[in-house]
């Protein structure tokens, strides 16, 4: 368990699973916030994952608002959810579990990753009655370690019950992620042994984005974290594979609506190095098939 202070009013306790408990393509963090009566209003920064927020608070939690569509409670946030803000009154003893699923894993776990692109939906709409049962188990747990074990069990069983993505699609995603978005997307088809048309079609139907858009998102994510770590925009642009600083500015604006300077100070990124201590990329499919993800 770690604690971190944001620049204004919130103290957030962060719990992460032990390294031995982490699953390929799945990251978890538990957050406990002690806040005064001041309402929350934070913009969420796009991330190359499908994100589950499981609200374990007593009382009303914040509202997830994406382009006027509002949800409260436990939600699933798809890739590229748009102008998503987390706002509204928050319980003083607010707790939630955040789960990041790589698109490759999300397609198997949720069975609806492509429909989730650009959307924020209640967890119950995706998991049905399993959502309520899982929330009850998590609320009854006595520690974050126990909660992480419960989630690993639930996700492992869901993975076992569904066929994985095409290995070629998983391999293409892994190359994009491992290369931090700096890959020749036109060469991905040759690498996996498919035609360009087949890879583009299958990748989009199973991940929800084209390989080019996926690479843009992964590259942006890498740049956003470099900016948040204090990197100068010109150096970040060069390190992240952008043509120049203006190119970086346009991409950041397109993904967030703000400038690189504003993004660097985004509260959403302030505790990323605590909650997600190492960046993760899915292992190559040849060394870790989806069906080999352990359940506990």
Do residue 29 and residue 148 come from a single domain? yes
Q: Which of 96, 130, 162 is the last residue of a domain?
A: 162
Assigned domain for 171 exists: yes
Do residue 116 and residue 208 come from a single domain? no
Assigned domain for 79 exists: yes
- pLDDT the model gives residue 267: 84
CATH of the domain at 208: 1.10.10.60
Assigned domain for 296 exists: no
Specify the number of domains making up the chain: 2
Assigned domain for 284 exists: no
Task: Name the phi and psi angles at 42, rounded to 5.
Answer: -130, 135
> DSSP class of residue 268?
G
Is residue 203 within 8 A of residue 195, CB to CB? The reply is: no
CATH of the domain at 84: 2.60.120.10
Assigned domain for 276 exists: no
Assigned domain for 36 exists: yes
Query: Residue 253 sits in which domain range?
Result: 167-265
The string of DSSP codes covering 67-121 is TTEEEESSEEE-SS--SEEEEE---SEEEEEEEEE-HHHHHHHHS-HHHHTT-EE
Give how far Cα 278 sits from Cα of 22, 225, 239, Å. Answer: 11, 12, 18
Do residue 7 and residue 150 come from a single domain? yes
Cα dihedral across residues 106, 108, 111, 114: positive or negative: positive
Going by C-alpha positions, the residue among 168, 60, 151, 175 that lies closest to residue 100 is 151
Let me know if 99 is exposed, middle or buried by CB neighbors in 10 A (0-12, 13-18, 19+).
buried
Assigned domain for 278 exists: no
pLDDT per residue of the chain (296 residues) written in tens, 0 to 9: 333 334 343 567 889 998 766 778 899 999 887 666 566 778 889 999 999 999 998 777 778 888 778 888 899 999 988 778 888 766 566 788 999 999 988 888 887 667 788 889 999 998 888 899 999 999 999 999 999 999 999 998 888 777 778 999 999 999 999 999 999 988 999 999 999 999 999 999 999 999 999 999 999 999 999 999 999 999 999 999 999 999 999 999 999 999 999 999 988 888 787 788 765 555 554 433 323 233 33
- pLDDT the model gives residue 36: 61
Do residue 32 and residue 149 come from a single domain? yes
């Amino acid at each position: 368990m770690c604690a971190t202070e944001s620049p204004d009013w919130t103290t957030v306790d962060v719990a992460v699973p032990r390294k031995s408990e982490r699953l390929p393509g799945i990251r978890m963090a538990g957050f406990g916030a002690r806040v005064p009566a001041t309402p929350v209003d934070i913009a969420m920064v796009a991330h190359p994952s499908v994100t589950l927020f499981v609200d374990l608070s007593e009382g009303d939690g914040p509202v997830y608002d994406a382009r006027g569509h509002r949800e409260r409670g436990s939600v699933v946030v798809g890739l590229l959810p748009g102008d998503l803000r987390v706002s509204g009154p928050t319980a003083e003893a607010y707790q939630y579990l955040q789960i990041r699923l790589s698109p490759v894993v999300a397609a198997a776990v949720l069975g609806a990753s492509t429909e989730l692109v650009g959307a924020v939906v209640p967890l119950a709409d995706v998991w049905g009655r399993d959502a309520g049962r899982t929330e009850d188990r998590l609320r009854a747990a006595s520690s974050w370690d126990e909660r992480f074990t419960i989630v690993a069990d639930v996700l492992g069983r869901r993975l076992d019950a569904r066929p994985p993505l095409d290995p070629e699609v998983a391999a293409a995603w892994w190359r994009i992620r491992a290369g931090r978005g700096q890959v020749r997307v036109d060469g991905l088809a040759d690498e996996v042994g498919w035609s360009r048309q087949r890879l583009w079609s299958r990748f989009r139907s199973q991940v929800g984005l084209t390989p080019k858009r996926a690479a843009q998102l992964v590259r942006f994510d890498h740049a956003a974290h470099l900016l948040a770590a204090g990197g100068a925009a010109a150096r970040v642009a060069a390190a992240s594979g952008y043509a120049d600083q203006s190119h970086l500015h346009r991409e950041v604006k397109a993904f967030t609506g703000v400038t690189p300077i504003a993004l660097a100070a985004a509260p959403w990124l302030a505790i990323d190095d605590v909650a997600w201590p190492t960046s993760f990329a899915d292992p190559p499919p040849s060394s870790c098939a989806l069906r080999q993800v352990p359940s506990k």
